[in-house]
Structure 1
Amino acid sequence: MPIKLAEDFPAKQVLLAEDIFAIDNERAIHQDIRPLRLLILNLMPDKITTETQLLRLISQSPLQIDVDFLQISSHQHKNTSITHLQKFYLTFADVVTSCYDGMIITGAPVEQLAFTEVDYWEELTEIMDWSQTNVTSVVHICWGAQAGLFHHYGIAKVAYAEKLFGVFPQRVVAKHRLCRGFDDCFWGPQSRYTGIAEDQIDGSKLQVIARDEVIGPNILISRDAHDIFILGHFEYDTDTLEKEYHRDLQRGLNTPRPQHYYEQDNPNNPIINRWRGHAHLLYHNWLNDVYQMTPYQLAEIPSRQRVRRKATTTEE
């Protein structure tokens, strides 16, 4: 089923051109089902590109989905117009009394800073704490995943000698409905300077779903299935890594050429998208899981989450 979007939302025309169905409010109210309500905390500088990438993935669900976008109010946004933010984005004050079926916290280009040095860290941790009671399930992406693992579980990030950059294989190492339909080995884009050390992971609280010997754990989920941590970027477009590579070179950075990205690893050859199918499947599985877990009445979410947290504390 389609995503409900405002008529003049920038990503809508892109998605319609790709034959991805999006409808307006008037048509949506005639559908006699409750839409899933999703909240996307977009921390990426190029917000419109990230909006389109994520909407492309979640639109493949047969469920109608209402999407709200959330901005950080304690940070000055330099790469997205104030008009766009004011028109399409909410602040935490706008949503603090609301409940959502699902939430996505994106990555951000701040991973070389200590978490507490990020100028919006205090607001972000407040939002992450709120998500534990007011959201049924939360997906954390790349730096957002590292931030969530640090805040919720005390897992510190580990700096790499050079940027992990390219498309890397991973293996499903634990059977989980999130990876239903996955091949045993699959590929996903990586673009980061930091990761996590596997020996910091408490297996009683977190389960590693996918990993690789080179890049380590890449998909993790909390034992209560509330929080999902994806250290890569399955949402990336085919040419995103190439654009990042040329941008880094223009800035004078010594970024290595993206690995396993071009045909025969030759930048003069076409890019091979090895991750598109699993990206769609991952988000389809997540939304289906949220649909199965979330109550019909959104107002019931906080009480359910309190029961979940109490049960987790008791087990510990």
Structure 2
Amino acid sequence: KNIPQLYVCWGAMAALYYFYGIGKHPMPEKIFGIYPQEILAPAPLLSGLITGFLAPHARYAEMNRSEIEQEKALTINAATPDGYLTLVTGPGQQVFLFSHLEYGPQAFSKEYQRELSARGGDDRKIAKPQRYFADEAAMSLPQFTWESSQQHFFKNWLQTIK
């Protein structure tokens, strides 16, 4: 049966491993911020979005892209210009979303503060969200620049599962 499946971030990583045996690897540093996206292959979920659409990413690991490219059942639909995965689709309605389009406007502030607190306030080895604050130096005035992308993506998702 064709059951819609939407896996997000760590869930997407676990699902790619479970269904296809594709592994993840730690990155040298966390990808953390708002990044423009390149549409690499059309997908109904990207309808209304154009290359350059913004999406938030926050993770310490990435999937093995060459393994995904070798798997004929999978398509890499979107990624950042630096090659970080955003959207991979599989047969039926399998969707692997590696960005955090579900995040609200305060999510990065809260995530940064949580990580800072876990390190006892030492910010020397902690990633700061990129392209998120209007004033990057002061880390103030968060911007919800991915709101339109979020609305398009989840509207498209709801239309595909009707």
Calculate the TM-score normalised by the size of structure 2: 0.89
User: Can you give the 5+ residue segments of structure 1 that lack an aligned partner in the other structure?
Assistant: 1-132, 292-316
Identity across matched positions, percent: 27
CA distance in 2, matches of 1:204, 1:261: 36
Q: Look up the match of 1:27.
A: none
Q: Look up the match of 1:271.
A: 142
Q: How many residues align?
A: 157
**Aligned partner of residue 199 in structure 1, secondary structure:** helix
Residue 269 of structure 1 and its aligned partner are, at CA, apart by: 3.5
Match for residue 280 of structure 1 among 147, 151, 162: 151
Q: Look up the match of 1:159.
A: 26
Rg larger in 1 or in 2?
A: 1
CA distance in 1, matches of 2:16, 2:3: 18
Equivalence map 1:44-193=2 (5 Å)? 133=1, 136-193=3-60
The Cα offsets for residues 106-133 of structure 1, whole Å up to 9 and x where unpaired, read as xxxxxxxxxxxxxxxxxxxxxxxxxxx5
Residue 215 of structure 1 and its aligned partner are, at CA, apart by: 4.6
Q: Look up the match of 2:129.
A: 258
Q: Is this contact kept in 1: 2:27–2:60, CA < 8 A?
A: yes
Q: Look up the match of 2:78.
A: 210
Q: Is this contact kept in 1: 2:38–2:81, CA < 8 A?
A: no
CA distance in 1, matches of 2:138, 2:50: 27
Q: Look up the match of 2:114.
A: 247
**Aligned partner of residue 4 in structure 2, secondary structure:** strand
The Cα offsets for residues 56-98 of structure 1, whole Å up to 9 and x where unpaired, read as xxxxxxxxxxxxxxxxxxxxxxxxxxxxxxxxxxxxxxxxxxx
CA distance in 1, matches of 2:140, 2:104: 17
Q: Is this contact kept in 1: 2:36–2:81, CA < 8 A?
A: no
CA distance in 1, matches of 2:84, 2:116: 27
Counterpart of 1:167 in structure 2: which amino acid? I
Query: Larger helix proportion, structure 1 or 2?
Result: 1
The Cα offsets for residues 273-294 of structure 1, whole Å up to 9 and x where unpaired, read as 1111111111111111111xxx
Residue 270 of structure 1 and its aligned partner are, at CA, apart by: 1.2
The Cα offsets for residues 164-203 of structure 1, whole Å up to 9 and x where unpaired, read as 1111111111112111100221111111110112111135
**Aligned partner of residue 102 in structure 2, secondary structure:** coil
Residue 265 of structure 1 and its aligned partner are, at CA, apart by: 2.3
Query: Larger strand proportion, structure 1 or 2?
Result: 2
Calculate the TM-score normalised by the size of structure 1: 0.47
The Cα offsets for residues 212-250 of structure 1, whole Å up to 9 and x where unpaired, read as 23252210100x232100011111111111111111111
CA distance in 2, matches of 1:136, 1:212: 28
**Aligned partner of residue 192 in structure 1, secondary structure:** strand
CA distance in 2, matches of 1:258, 1:279: 18
CA distance in 1, matches of 2:17, 2:139: 40
* Higher RCO, 1 vs 2 (CA within 8 Å, ≥6 residues apart): 2
CA distance in 2, matches of 1:186, 1:225: 25
Change beyond 3 A, Cα 1:174–1:250? same
Equivalence map 1:30-49=2 (5 Å)? none
Counterpart of 2:86 in structure 1: which amino acid? N
